[in-house]
Structure 1
Protein backbone atom coordinates (compact mmCIF):
# COMPACT_ATOMS: atom_id res chain seq x y z
CA UNK A 1 0.00 0.00 0.00
CA UNK A 2 1.40 3.40 -0.96
CA UNK A 3 0.72 6.13 1.61
CA UNK A 4 0.89 9.85 0.97
CA UNK A 5 4.03 11.61 2.23
CA UNK A 6 1.85 14.49 3.51
CA UNK A 7 0.12 12.25 6.09
CA UNK A 8 1.84 12.03 9.46
CA UNK A 9 3.07 8.70 10.82
CA UNK A 10 0.28 8.30 13.39
CA UNK A 11 -2.44 8.84 10.79
CA UNK A 12 -0.85 6.32 8.38
CA UNK A 13 -0.68 3.69 11.12
CA UNK A 14 -4.28 4.30 12.17
CA UNK A 15 -5.50 4.11 8.56
CA UNK A 16 -3.75 0.77 8.03
CA UNK A 17 -5.18 -0.58 11.30
CA UNK A 18 -8.70 0.51 10.31
CA UNK A 19 -8.30 -1.04 6.85
CA UNK A 20 -7.09 -4.35 8.28
CA UNK A 21 -9.89 -4.38 10.89
CA UNK A 22 -12.48 -3.72 8.20
CA UNK A 23 -11.06 -6.53 6.07
CA UNK A 24 -11.22 -8.94 9.02
CA UNK A 25 -14.85 -7.99 9.75
CA UNK A 26 -15.79 -8.54 6.09
CA UNK A 27 -14.03 -11.92 5.99
CA UNK A 28 -15.70 -13.04 9.22
CA UNK A 29 -19.12 -11.96 7.98
CA UNK A 30 -18.63 -13.91 4.75
CA UNK A 31 -17.41 -16.95 6.69
CA UNK A 32 -20.48 -16.92 8.96
CA UNK A 33 -22.84 -16.83 5.99
CA UNK A 34 -21.02 -19.76 4.42
CA UNK A 35 -21.07 -21.72 7.67
CA UNK A 36 -24.82 -21.19 8.14
CA UNK A 37 -25.55 -22.41 4.61
CA UNK A 38 -23.29 -25.45 5.04
CA UNK A 39 -24.86 -26.29 8.43
CA UNK A 40 -28.21 -26.84 6.73
CA UNK A 41 -26.65 -29.54 4.53
CA UNK A 42 -24.46 -31.17 7.20
CA UNK A 43 -25.10 -34.80 8.11
CA UNK A 44 -23.23 -35.60 11.31
CA UNK A 45 -20.80 -38.50 11.27
CA UNK A 46 -22.14 -39.51 14.66
CA UNK A 47 -25.78 -39.16 13.59
CA UNK A 48 -28.13 -42.08 14.05
CA UNK A 49 -29.83 -43.41 10.93
CA UNK A 50 -33.61 -43.68 11.32
CA UNK A 51 -36.94 -43.67 9.54
CA UNK A 52 -39.02 -40.55 9.95
CA UNK A 53 -42.73 -41.30 10.23
CA UNK A 54 -45.67 -39.01 10.86
CA UNK A 55 -47.68 -38.76 14.07
CA UNK A 56 -50.63 -36.72 15.29
CA UNK A 57 -49.89 -35.37 18.77
CA UNK A 58 -53.18 -33.46 19.13
CA UNK A 59 -55.96 -34.39 21.55
CA UNK A 60 -58.51 -36.48 19.71
CA UNK A 61 -56.04 -37.11 16.89
CA UNK A 62 -54.89 -40.48 15.58
CA UNK A 63 -51.75 -40.45 17.75
CA UNK A 64 -53.41 -41.87 20.84
CA UNK A 65 -53.08 -40.57 24.38
CA UNK A 66 -51.11 -37.72 25.89
CA UNK A 67 -47.32 -37.64 25.67
CA UNK A 68 -45.25 -39.84 27.97
CA UNK A 69 -42.94 -36.93 28.83
CA UNK A 70 -45.42 -34.32 29.99
CA UNK A 71 -48.86 -35.91 30.00
CA UNK A 72 -49.94 -33.21 27.52
CA UNK A 73 -51.09 -33.09 23.92
CA UNK A 74 -49.22 -31.00 21.33
CA UNK A 75 -50.52 -29.06 18.37
CA UNK A 76 -49.24 -30.45 15.06
CA UNK A 77 -47.77 -27.03 14.27
CA UNK A 78 -45.19 -27.64 17.02
CA UNK A 79 -42.06 -29.60 16.02
CA UNK A 80 -42.47 -32.63 18.28
CA UNK A 81 -41.28 -36.24 18.02
CA UNK A 82 -41.65 -39.64 19.64
CA UNK A 83 -38.56 -41.87 19.70
CA UNK A 84 -38.51 -45.66 19.49
CA UNK A 85 -38.35 -47.34 22.90
CA UNK A 86 -34.57 -47.92 22.87
CA UNK A 87 -33.78 -44.33 21.91
CA UNK A 88 -36.47 -42.99 24.24
CA UNK A 89 -34.50 -44.75 26.98
CA UNK A 90 -37.11 -44.42 29.74
CA UNK A 91 -37.48 -40.70 29.10
CA UNK A 92 -33.79 -39.75 28.92
CA UNK A 93 -34.49 -37.32 26.03
CA UNK A 94 -37.81 -36.01 27.37
CA UNK A 95 -38.51 -32.38 26.49
CA UNK A 96 -35.06 -31.98 24.91
CA UNK A 97 -34.52 -30.94 21.31
CA UNK A 98 -32.92 -33.33 18.86
CA UNK A 99 -31.45 -32.42 15.47
CA UNK A 100 -33.01 -34.07 12.43
CA UNK A 101 -31.16 -34.21 9.11
CA UNK A 102 -33.09 -35.15 5.95
CA UNK A 103 -31.55 -36.58 2.78
CA UNK A 104 -32.78 -33.52 0.86
CA UNK A 105 -30.14 -31.40 2.66
CA UNK A 106 -32.54 -29.74 5.10
CA UNK A 107 -32.39 -29.98 8.88
CA UNK A 108 -34.50 -28.94 11.85
CA UNK A 109 -34.85 -29.39 15.58
CA UNK A 110 -37.75 -31.03 17.36
CA UNK A 111 -38.67 -31.65 20.98
CA UNK A 112 -38.94 -35.23 22.23
CA UNK A 113 -42.37 -35.54 23.83
CA UNK A 114 -43.21 -39.23 23.60
CA UNK A 115 -42.16 -42.84 23.14
CA UNK A 116 -42.91 -44.86 20.02
CA UNK A 117 -43.44 -48.11 21.93
CA UNK A 118 -41.78 -51.10 20.24
CA UNK A 119 -43.89 -53.50 22.35
CA UNK A 120 -46.94 -52.05 20.57
CA UNK A 121 -45.70 -52.38 17.00
CA UNK A 122 -43.34 -49.44 16.58
CA UNK A 123 -40.11 -50.47 14.87
CA UNK A 124 -36.80 -49.91 16.67
CA UNK A 125 -35.52 -47.28 14.22
CA UNK A 126 -38.39 -44.75 14.24
CA UNK A 127 -38.53 -41.01 14.84
CA UNK A 128 -42.27 -40.32 14.77
CA UNK A 129 -42.77 -36.63 13.94
CA UNK A 130 -45.48 -33.98 13.85
CA UNK A 131 -46.46 -32.27 10.60
CA UNK A 132 -44.37 -29.25 11.66
CA UNK A 133 -41.18 -31.34 11.47
CA UNK A 134 -42.03 -32.56 7.98
CA UNK A 135 -42.76 -29.04 6.78
CA UNK A 136 -39.54 -27.69 8.35
CA UNK A 137 -37.65 -30.34 6.37
CA UNK A 138 -39.22 -29.04 3.17
CA UNK A 139 -41.43 -32.08 2.54
CA UNK A 140 -44.95 -31.28 1.37
CA UNK A 141 -47.98 -33.51 1.76
CA UNK A 142 -47.90 -34.11 -2.01
CA UNK A 143 -44.32 -35.42 -1.89
CA UNK A 144 -44.06 -39.24 -2.17
CA UNK A 145 -41.72 -39.17 0.85
CA UNK A 146 -44.44 -37.64 3.09
CA UNK A 147 -44.97 -40.01 6.02
CA UNK A 148 -41.90 -42.21 5.54
CA UNK A 149 -38.37 -40.96 4.89
CA UNK A 150 -34.76 -41.85 5.74
CA UNK A 151 -33.12 -39.38 8.13
CA UNK A 152 -30.25 -39.00 10.58
CA UNK A 153 -30.76 -37.59 14.06
CA UNK A 154 -28.50 -36.50 16.91
CA UNK A 155 -28.74 -34.91 20.37
Structure 2
Protein backbone atom coordinates (compact mmCIF):
# COMPACT_ATOMS: atom_id res chain seq x y z
CA UNK A 1 0.00 0.00 0.00
CA UNK A 2 1.09 3.57 -0.49
CA UNK A 3 0.41 6.86 1.18
CA UNK A 4 0.64 9.91 -1.03
CA UNK A 5 0.72 13.57 -0.26
CA UNK A 6 -0.15 16.04 -2.99
CA UNK A 7 0.00 19.79 -2.43
CA UNK A 8 -2.78 20.32 -4.96
CA UNK A 9 -5.24 18.07 -3.13
CA UNK A 10 -8.05 20.53 -2.42
CA UNK A 11 -9.26 19.55 1.04
CA UNK A 12 -5.97 20.00 2.89
CA UNK A 13 -5.02 23.59 3.48
CA UNK A 14 -2.37 25.59 5.19
CA UNK A 15 -3.75 28.77 6.76
CA UNK A 16 -2.71 30.78 3.70
CA UNK A 17 -4.27 28.37 1.21
CA UNK A 18 -7.62 28.30 3.01
CA UNK A 19 -8.68 31.51 1.32
CA UNK A 20 -7.62 30.39 -2.18
CA UNK A 21 -10.61 28.14 -2.95
CA UNK A 22 -10.93 24.40 -3.35
CA UNK A 23 -13.66 21.93 -2.58
CA UNK A 24 -14.88 20.72 0.80
CA UNK A 25 -14.52 17.05 1.68
CA UNK A 26 -17.08 14.49 0.54
CA UNK A 27 -17.74 13.12 4.02
CA UNK A 28 -18.73 16.24 5.92
CA UNK A 29 -18.66 19.14 3.44
CA UNK A 30 -15.96 20.79 5.55
CA UNK A 31 -12.44 21.98 4.83
CA UNK A 32 -9.68 20.23 6.75
CA UNK A 33 -6.36 21.81 7.62
CA UNK A 34 -2.95 20.21 7.23
CA UNK A 35 -2.33 20.25 10.98
CA UNK A 36 -5.15 17.70 11.45
CA UNK A 37 -4.52 14.00 10.72
CA UNK A 38 -7.04 13.33 7.96
CA UNK A 39 -6.97 11.20 4.81
CA UNK A 40 -8.70 10.53 1.53
CA UNK A 41 -8.96 6.88 0.49
CA UNK A 42 -8.90 5.56 -3.07
CA UNK A 43 -12.34 4.68 -4.44
CA UNK A 44 -12.42 0.99 -3.49
CA UNK A 45 -11.27 1.60 0.08
CA UNK A 46 -13.57 4.61 0.40
CA UNK A 47 -16.34 2.10 -0.36
CA UNK A 48 -19.11 4.54 -1.30
CA UNK A 49 -18.52 6.55 1.86
CA UNK A 50 -18.84 3.65 4.31
CA UNK A 51 -15.58 4.71 6.00
CA UNK A 52 -16.52 8.40 6.20
CA UNK A 53 -15.50 10.05 9.48
CA UNK A 54 -14.12 6.74 10.78
CA UNK A 55 -10.55 6.55 12.01
CA UNK A 56 -7.86 4.39 10.49
CA UNK A 57 -4.47 3.54 11.96
CA UNK A 58 -1.59 4.06 9.53
CA UNK A 59 1.72 2.35 10.25
CA UNK A 60 5.03 3.13 8.54
CA UNK A 61 8.56 4.14 9.36
CA UNK A 62 8.34 2.35 12.73
CA UNK A 63 5.46 4.57 13.89
CA UNK A 64 1.66 4.65 13.85
CA UNK A 65 -0.86 7.48 13.59
CA UNK A 66 -4.64 7.58 13.77
CA UNK A 67 -6.29 9.66 11.03
CA UNK A 68 -9.90 10.35 10.10
CA UNK A 69 -11.25 9.48 6.65
CA UNK A 70 -12.78 12.65 5.22
CA UNK A 71 -12.74 12.17 1.46
CA UNK A 72 -12.35 9.95 -1.57
CA UNK A 73 -9.34 10.03 -3.87
CA UNK A 74 -11.28 9.15 -7.02
CA UNK A 75 -9.83 6.16 -8.86
CA UNK A 76 -12.45 6.21 -11.61
CA UNK A 77 -12.50 9.80 -12.85
CA UNK A 78 -10.10 12.67 -13.38
CA UNK A 79 -8.43 14.97 -15.89
CA UNK A 80 -11.41 17.32 -15.89
CA UNK A 81 -12.45 20.55 -14.21
CA UNK A 82 -14.33 18.75 -11.44
CA UNK A 83 -11.08 17.03 -10.47
CA UNK A 84 -8.78 20.05 -10.92
CA UNK A 85 -7.41 18.34 -14.07
CA UNK A 86 -5.61 15.80 -11.89
CA UNK A 87 -5.40 12.21 -13.15
CA UNK A 88 -7.42 9.52 -11.37
CA UNK A 89 -5.87 8.11 -8.20
CA UNK A 90 -4.51 4.60 -8.36
CA UNK A 91 -6.44 1.91 -6.51
CA UNK A 92 -4.18 1.66 -3.45
CA UNK A 93 -3.77 5.23 -2.25
CA UNK A 94 -4.17 6.84 1.12
CA UNK A 95 -3.80 10.58 0.47
CA UNK A 96 -2.71 12.11 3.76
CA UNK A 97 -2.49 15.54 5.32
CA UNK A 98 0.87 16.90 6.45
CA UNK A 99 0.00 16.03 10.06
CA UNK A 100 0.05 12.34 9.11
CA UNK A 101 3.48 12.62 7.49
CA UNK A 102 4.83 14.48 10.52
CA UNK A 103 3.39 11.92 12.95
CA UNK A 104 5.10 9.16 10.96
CA UNK A 105 8.35 11.14 11.33
CA UNK A 106 9.06 11.13 7.60
CA UNK A 107 11.57 13.83 6.58
CA UNK A 108 9.90 16.48 4.43
CA UNK A 109 12.20 15.81 1.47
CA UNK A 110 10.91 12.20 1.41
CA UNK A 111 7.20 13.09 1.31
CA UNK A 112 5.46 11.82 -1.80
CA UNK A 113 5.24 8.06 -1.63
CA UNK A 114 5.70 5.66 1.25
CA UNK A 115 4.85 2.01 1.78
CA UNK A 116 2.34 1.73 4.62
CA UNK A 117 -0.16 -0.58 6.21
CA UNK A 118 -3.49 0.62 7.53
CA UNK A 119 -6.33 -0.84 9.53
CA UNK A 120 -9.64 0.45 10.75
CA UNK A 121 -9.11 1.91 14.21
State TM-score, norm by structure 2: 0.78
Q: Structure 1 or 2: larger strand share?
A: 2
RMSD: 1.6
Instruction: Name 1:106's counterpart in structure 2.
Output: 63
Q: Which residue of 1 aligns with 2:24?
A: 66
**Partner residue, 2:116:** 151
Q: Which segments of 5 or more consecutive residues in structure 1 lack a partner in the other structure?
A: 1-49
Runs of 4+ off more than 3 Å: 59-62
Structure with greater Cα Rg: 1
* Superposed displacement of residue 76, structure 1: 0.3
1:91–1:138 CA distance, 2 compared to 1 (3 A): same
Paired position in structure 2 for 1:95: 53
In the alignment, structure 2 segments of 5+ residues that lack a partner are 79-87
Name the TM-score, length of structure 1 as normaliser: 0.62
SS of the counterpart of 1:118? coil
Count of equivalent residues: 102
Larger fraction in helix: 1
